[in-house]
Chains A and B, each alone.
Chain A
Amino acid sequence: MAFEPTNELLQDFLIEAGELIDALDSQLVGLEQAPNDKDLLNAIFRAFHTIKGGAGFLEVTPLVEVCHRAEDIFNLLRTGELTVTPAIMDVMLRVLDALNSMFASLRQGVLPPSVGAPFLHEIEVLAHAHKTAQAPKKTNLAEQPTPGAPLPQVAMGAAPLAETTPSATVPSEMPVMKPASIDAQFDALLQALEAAEEAQSAPAPKPSTSSDLITDEEFEALLDRLHGKGQFQGAGRGALAHSSDAAPITTHGEPPPARDESAEAGHDLITDDEFERVLDSLYGKGQGPTSAIKPAAPAEKIATVPNAVAPISSKPVVPTPAPEAAKVETTVRVDTERLDFIMNLVGELVLVRNRMNTLKLSFNNEEVTQVIATLDRVTSDLQGAVMKTRMQPVKKVFGRFPRVVRDTARLLGKEVELVLVGEETDLDKNLVEALADPLVHLVRNSVDHGIELPAVRLAQGKPAQGTVTLSAAQEGDHIRLSISDDGAGMNAELLRRKSVEKGLLTEEAAARLTEQECFELILLPGFSTKDEISDISGRGVGMDVVKTAITRLSGLISIDSSPGVGTTINIKVPLTLAILPTLMVVVSERKYAIALGIVSEIFEMADKEINIVDGQATITVRDRALPLYRLNHWLALPGEPMTGRGASDLVVMVQVGAQLIALVVDSVIGQEEVVIKPLGELLHNVGGFAGATITGDGHIALILDLPGLMRRNIQPRFKAKLKVVA
């Protein structure tokens, strides 16, 4: 089966089902915490059902078979026949993982492989294993000799879904049926079913899960019930809900006309999936499974059906929520590329506005000034409105954390509660995507290294369950994200010692670090390795990667911690990446832009004391020595003299990663909102520039990437630089 990635249906399915799967992640974890949340159960059930439906339509059998089984389990859960246990959740989360990987391959236009019969079986077992305990008085269908069970792998053209039926549960010993006869039979059944549906208020049986095929006989048995020929008043969906081989049957009522069907068993097979489709057609017309399900047949009788399809539960089944009445569409799906294009155009407009603003001075005409003022306002509004269309709630990132926390905690034997705050905060789409990985890293770190083991916590008088709080809030034109835990915290002294041991700092330098600066040591590349001291262990594995990612987003990261109380990591990122507020400076008569977010102060060099320490110029600002760099040295062209203008120079103090540095510039023009234009590929190996922008006067200004620029210019003196920081 070839999948055209361009297939619109497939694309729609991937998007819609993809969203469902994303939501499932947190829903499943949420369910574990609130096992009796009916709404949640229903939502999960619906999600699996919807995914299955779409997958069935697209003939993605491996997806169908997994979703189908998961759906069954959730059906039992929501009817109360099963209760949520960690074991079930573990399997369900693995189901989700399987779905995710299937989606990944579907996105590449490849039909995903089946998860394999053992896993499918594992899911099925969940249903009856649990029930066995609950309802000892059941008929063990698994022990039924199932002469009809060895179902042939029915490969028929009309039943595309049959192809990948797992063979483990369906031994293929029987001869393959002639497609034509099956089709005919199936059509007949379909008609019969439709007739039945009119007769009854659409009792919609649900087929077996363990076997992907059901026999004609079984189907007829179902029809009998549908018709009410037997004493079935309405075999509801739940009645036929699940796994056949060992599913307990807790039904009562009159037996259906029992026939010796085993003789014919194995003939006239239709696949589960076909059956499913028939059901779907029923659902569509009728009301879906009826809520008023009458007690059905005695289990024993049903059990005589070969490969019994119909383990029957007598409990009234919560009706499948009828397809929601079509809501009035108020949303439109727009390709993000189109949004990006609009954003670019608005960016251009912003530039034109900036130019107009510059030009209006030369006009000195009241009317022109007014028109430009209007243009200015409209452009700003437009910019804001377009930006909003790209905003996504941070929930999109947060959604994956319950799972991350749960898995990590379970793995480590810790008890951790995740509190999410400010999920509805909107963030630029690109940021949402870019922040996901660093945040996962930080959250995992919090659980792994922050939160102590329950025993340790109790010994310290803390509740056994640790808390990790992930919060997001908008602060002006920035978003502040913080990850805090009430765990062990970090020991500044240990970090200090470690930095000396690693040779990153001299002893004196380390001794001068403030506590805050000690924590920020973990952001340095090369600071952490596996042989770390235990209470800081891992804190910092990959932290420099996190820092790099945040810095790339023009963000800031800061760490606060106190031993025994916990650690808080704050991340500040701009609302959007497309338009960057910058400080325009002049260096060697050329304009450069520095992201305003990292600029903390501007002052005249003349006021300050400058010393040369260890070959590095430092400037003392409020009793603090900062390394001083001349941007004209860093940004010199070949053959250009590198002279500063001396005392009239201005110093821009910027935060680069965890450290503050002072940069000498020729002059400062002021604040300007710029649109970042990427540099071409020819310039990709040039470090130090985040891009270029077109300034108000139509010229180009390079946007400085200070970490990159520092790397390019002072990498060999990394140690020296650190000494100076201290």
Chain B
Amino acid sequence: MAISEGGLLTDEIRCKVWPKLLSVNTDDLPPLPARKELREDNKDYQQVLLDVRRSLRRFPPGMPDDQREGLQEELIDIILHVLQRNPQLHYYQGYHDIVVTFLLVVGDRLATALVEKLSTHHLRDFMDSTMDNTKHILNYLMPIIDQVNPEVHDFMQSAEVGTIFALSWLITWFGHVLSDFRHVVRLYDFFLACHPLMPIYFAAVIVLHREQEVLDCECDMASVHHLLSQIPQDLPYESLISKAGDLFVQFPPSELAKEAAQAAQAERTAASTFKDFELASVQQRPDTVLRQRFRERLRGEERLRGEERTKSILTKPRTNRFVKLAVMGLTVALGAAALAMVKSALEWAPKFQLQIFP
């Protein structure tokens, strides 16, 4: 449902389904601590305050000021509460864009529980003490683009545009850059139901959707960065979601890991920063299961379609249905198990990759 066309449609349904997608028990929500307690001696309070005060655009335009201000205070409380309970998590600018989406859809109490779960899973890498892991996830962007359209990839490489234009997309799940709230929650339905790396596939799909604009652009960092960072507000979300799902199945993270690791090497990102590597290998089982399932399904498709299958899945909408089924089937089959693997991505650790691909 969350992946298929239209997503979860209403906030009422989202209140019921989002907790299930995150395996949060709604009957047993812990009470929120007192506001004063939260704000005293909190190292992140000042930064959170600055960012939340400035986040006026995230609230519906017609909302009365006092109502909005009340919600902003709740937003600060949720963020500080989650940070206080999870000292291993670090606040980043943009985290507030994610939390506000949950607050507006499900209210403060449920939002706290959902955001806490999300922060220790999907968003975990963004909340490390440094942004090295975030940077590494961004390194998946160019290999995905390369698989689908090498010309766009080469153009972007020679422009040296980097991937920072997609940083706010990734770490806010597009909450920071899309002005229509309906589009934001639609994407959240999709991302909540998918692998934590899905937002980077979606970012790639947006770039690929604009391939002509990119190729028509002057081949320099500023022009390409400027073009891509201005995200069009009238994107065909449903077809892009479907394409992102297709790409994930066709080019799963494990297959892109080598290129991503090389990109990291090229940027001289220290492999030693992936301290969670050992932990990752312990936790990797669900991911392995997921990948096996994908491969089984892909093999099934290949049998069905023989040699017909090519790289150009984007130009072959006919094939999309099969692949979408694969994604959906997996999501249903694995459900919350798939969520327990953010840290697990074995293929994210470049050091390890080098051993696999000597």
Question: Is the A/B pair a real complex?
Answer: no
Which residues of B pack against A, CB within 8 Å? none
